[in-house]
Chain A
Amino acid sequence: MDITFENVDYTYQKNTPFEHKALEDLSFHIKSGSFVAIVGHTGSGKSTLISHLNGLSIPTDGKVKVGDYLLTNDRKPSDMKELRSKVGVVFQYPEHQLFEETIEKDIAFGPENFGVPESEIKDRILKAMSAVGLSESLLDRSPFDLSGGQMRRVAIAGVLAIKPDTLVLDEPTAGLDPRGQKEIMDMFYRLHHEQNLTTVLVTHSMEDALKYANHVIILNKGKKYLEGTPEEVFVQKDALKQVQLDVPEVVQFITSFNKKFKTTTPFSNQSINQLAKQIKQVLIGDELE
């Protein structure tokens, strides 16, 4: 679904001594089907931003459009539930939302709420579990007997089983082991393409943003700081440094390489293989290829 923010402000605890402006004059557009990374220092408003995507927060000022749903301060859609069935959100530490006796029931919870027929739910559960790499033998186990990483997978499966058009991920891999992080991210990436999803990923990892996203939005103190393709954004080393963000390692490498060999190899989000070829070209010329 297309997502548009128009001059969005969001203030927590308005009219109290603790009033806090978390988003300020935020505007951007996300095309349907894109994979967007939202990056920013801690406290920059990333989680606040994504809570607007399924109507959990309503902008204090400005407009949010998600598909056909318009959210403004004076009117929210009457069919909020429908919006939520189309926008699936995996929150930071989603394992905290588990509550059912068995894993099967917990994954079924979302689809049941959204009125998916019983016959289809079973199938969705199995598909979601295999997507997140959980074995079927766990179906009848209590989610509270699992390891933290497994609990995370159950929670993610619970969102996938809703079959949303738009998937919103708030640091979905924080606190997992490196292998688990890669597995989960690769899974989201695969689903994104297979099911033609619109994916919004909040992350601290520049590497992930670079690897998976085709559009990057950098937030700083509730305002949009930079926006563009990964190639456009991640070469702005100084600008990123200003807001306590690093450029991805590949970019750091290319910069150092260029400096050392006085070359101008560009960063164009090339694969490691392509980069290796470019380096070879610089070092020993074309003819030996």
Chain B
Amino acid sequence: MNNSLIIGQYVPGDSIVHRLDPRTKITIIFFFVFIVFFANNLPSYSILVVFALASMFTSKVPIRFVLKGLTPVWFLIIFTFLLHLFVTKEGTLVFDFWIFKFYSGGIFQGIAISIRFFLLILVTSLLTLTTTPIEITDAIEDMLNPLKKVKFPVHELALMMSISLRFIPTLMQETDKISRAQASRGVDFRTGPIKDRVKAVIPLLVPLFVSAFKRAEELAMAMEARGYQGGEGRSKLRELKIEKMDIFVYLIFIVVIILLFLTRTYG
């Protein structure tokens, strides 16, 4: 088995978006999520859509992976769209048939909300699609650094996060392996009465816990043997560095914000 079992949905690549400093990506997405709510007319929405789509194409992540992130919320998008369509009674009546009375305001609102959803999901999944979980953890540790002053255990928290992230795939592989071994000994995880299926979990969980504890012990020992004693004075293998490209991206984003506030309608 190899490291291909990656949690989240990271799609390896070497695009500009992949290479951006994870802090840049997190910051921009944070503000993007915020400003999406300021768009309120066609031009301002267009600016955001263009920005989001441009990021997506730059990342070279196949569209189907992006769409996958949308699957769980399709229902929500359609539902809110229909809700606006039926409930909002602003603007002019554009469609009138039997009980269906659609107003232009409702249609616009419905589309706008759907686009908002779409944009939010798109940019946030773009983060997880182009950034490894470890990079995200590093970035969070770095961004939370100021909290160290108030004795918040930033380093320990980040370490816990990265260790869990590191071991989730391992545990998944292990689960797979053990369930195959027990299936070969006649356990049926998929069919049969619920009671039997619950019982079938024991032969899976016991070995899993045994190996998880063993691993934890070995890891602790290995860390100690290699001189780990907490975050104090520890240097880093992966230094985060703001490059020219990051500055450039920030500038583009600022332009987007300015354009957005220039084009949106007030009052």
Binding site for B on A (CB under 8 A): 12-13, 17-18, 20, 51, 54, 56, 81, 84-85, 88-89, 91, 94, 96-99, 109-110, 112-114, 144, 158-159, 162
Q: Which of B184, B186, B188, B207 contacts A98 (CB 8 A)?
A: B207
Count residues of B near A (Cβ-Cβ below 8 Å): 26
Q: Which of B6, B62, B184, B207 contacts A96 (CB 8 A)?
A: B207
- Fill in one digit per residue for B168-180: 1 if any A CB lies within 8 Å of its CB, else 0: 0000001001101
5 contacts between A and B (CB under 8 A): A96-B211, A98-B207, A99-B206, A109-B185, A162-B186
CA A12 to CA B1, docked complex, whole Å: 10
Q: Given A20-B4, A51-B180, does the pair A144, B210 have CB atoms closer than 8 Å?
A: yes
**Contact between chains at B188 and A91 (CB < 8 Å):** no
Residues of B within 8 A of A99 (CB): 202-203, 206-207, 210
Give the most central of B2, B184, B206, B210: most A CB within 10 Å. B184
**Contact between chains at A96 and B186 (CB < 8 Å):** no
Q: Which of A18, A20, A56, A113 contacts B186 (CB 8 A)?
A: A113
**Contact between chains at A91 and B207 (CB < 8 Å):** no
**Contact between chains at A159 and B185 (CB < 8 Å):** yes
Residues of B within 8 A of A54 (CB): 184
Chain B's nearest CB lies how many Å from the CB of A48?
A: 10
Q: Given A96-B178, A97-B207, does the pair A17, B12 have CB atoms closer than 8 Å?
A: yes
Residues of A within 8 A of B182 (CB): 97
Other than the given A99-B202, A99-B206, A144-B210, 16 more pairs (CB < 8 A) read A18-B4, A18-B6, A54-B184, A56-B183, A56-B184, A84-B183, A85-B186, A88-B184, A97-B207, A98-B207, A99-B207, A110-B185, A112-B186, A158-B185, A159-B184, A159-B185
Residues of A within 8 A of B12 (CB): 17
CA A54 to CA B180, docked complex, whole Å: 10
Residues of A within 8 A of B2 (CB): 20
**Contact between chains at A81 and B6 (CB < 8 Å):** no
**Contact between chains at A89 and B203 (CB < 8 Å):** no
CA A158 to CA B185, docked complex, whole Å: 8
Closest to A93 in B: B177
**Contact between chains at B4 and A96 (CB < 8 Å):** no
Closest to A17 in B: B11
- Does B152 count as interface, using CB distance less than 8 angstroms? no
**Contact between chains at B186 and A84 (CB < 8 Å):** yes
CA A17 to CA B5, docked complex, whole Å: 10
**Contact between chains at B187 and A97 (CB < 8 Å):** no
